[in-house]
Amino acid sequence: MRPVLFLICPVLLFLGASYLLPFLGIVQLSFTDPDPGLAQYGRVLTEDLPTGVIWRTLRLCVIVTAVSVSCAYVITLLWVRGSPLVRSITELCIMIPFWISVLSRAFGWLSMLSNRGLLNTWLQDLGLIDSAIQMTRNEFAVVVGMSHYLIPFAVFPLATAMRNVDERVLTAADGMGASRLRIFWQVFLPMTASGIMGATLLVFVFSIGFYVTPALLGGGQSVLVAELIYLWLFQIPQWGMAAAMSVVLMLGVGGILFILMRRYGEMAK
C-alpha cells in the first residue's frame, strides 16, 4: 500500500496547489470583500435575488436529474440487454452526442424547438396544431437541453450496475413464476439501485454548475447560480458576494454528496 500512496503524491500536490489554494483564496474573499465579516453570507442567504436563484437552481436540477436518470435507465437497459443490433444503435446514440460541444447542442435544440423550428413546422404541416407552441426560451427548453447533455453521464454507472446483476437470480425469479413486470420491479430494479444512486449523484452535482445551456435556452428568465456568480464577477463586480455564493454552492453540493454517499455506501453493503 505504501508505495502506491507515494506514487499518487504528485497528483495530490498538484490538486492541492491548483484547486485547494485558490479555493481558500475564494473563502478568504467571501469574508473580506468589501468589508470584513459575515455580511456577504447574510446577503446571499437572505436577499431576494440570490435566494430566489438558489431555489430555482435546486428545483431545476432535481427535475433534470429525475428526467436524465429515468431516460438513461431505459437507454442503458436497451444497451446492456438488447439484441446486438439494438445494442450498437443505442451505443451510437449515446456516444455521438458525447462528442458534440455543449454550445452546438444548445443551438441544435433551438433550431429544433423554436417557433419556426423543425418540430413546430412538422406539427403544423400535419395539422395537429394551428399556431406554434412556444417550446424554447423557457424552463422546458432548459430541462430538455440539460437532460440531453447529462444522460450519457448517467448511462455509465447504470450500465456497470446492470452488468453486475446475476443472471441466475432473474432465472430463479422466472422459475418461481414471477411475471416479467414483477421481475423487473421486485428483482432487477432493486439490484441496480446502487447504479441509480451513482447516476443521480453524478448528474445532480454536474447539473448545478450549468451555465451555457440555461443561458441560451432559458430566454433570460431562468438565471441559475452559475450565471449569477458570473454576473457578480464580471458584469457588476461584487467579488465578495460571488465568493460567498461559491462557498455556499460548494458546501451545499458537498453536503448533498456526503449524505448520498453515506446512504449509497449502506445500500452497496
Which residues are at the interface with other proteins (CB under 8 A)? 17-18, 21-22, 48-49, 52-53, 56, 101-103, 110-111, 114-117, 132, 134, 136-137, 149, 206, 209-213, 215-216, 219-223, 226, 228, 231-239
User: 76 or 114: whose CB is closer to other proteins?
Assistant: 114
Residues belonging to the chain: 269
Among 59, 36, 61, 30, residue whose Cα is nearest residue 245: 30
Q: Compute the least distance from the CB of residue 237 to other proteins, in Å.
A: 4
Q: Minimum CB separation from other proteins for residue 223, in Å?
A: 4
> By C-beta, is 204 or 206 nearer to other proteins?
206
Kindly state the smallest distance separating residue 218's Cβ from other proteins, in Å: 9
The conformational region for residue 207 under phi > 0 = left, psi -120 to 50 = alpha, else beta, is: alpha
Shortest gap between Cβ of 12 and other proteins (angstroms)?
Answer: 15
Looking at the Cβ atoms of 78 and 233, the one nearer to other proteins is 233
Angle at 195 between CA 191 and CA 200, to 5 degrees: 130
Q: What does the angle CA 85 – CA 97 – CA 134 come to, to the nearest 5 degrees?
A: 110
Compute the least distance from the CB of residue 74 to other proteins, in Å: 24
Q: Nearer to other proteins by C-beta: 188 or 206? A: 206
Alpha carbon distance 228, 242 (integer Å) = 8
What is the residue whose three cell numbers read 430566454? Answer: 219
Cβ closer to other proteins: 32 or 238?
A: 238
What single DSSP character describes residue 43? H
The phi and psi torsions of 137 (rounded to 5 degrees) equal 60, 35
Nearer to other proteins, 79 or 137 (CB): 137
Backbone angles phi, psi at 37, to 5 degrees: 130, -170
The CB-of-51 to other proteins minimum distance in angstroms stands at: 10
Residues 6+ positions from 202 with CB-CB distance below 8 Å: 153, 154, 157
For the chain, what is the radius of gyration of the CA atoms?
A: 23
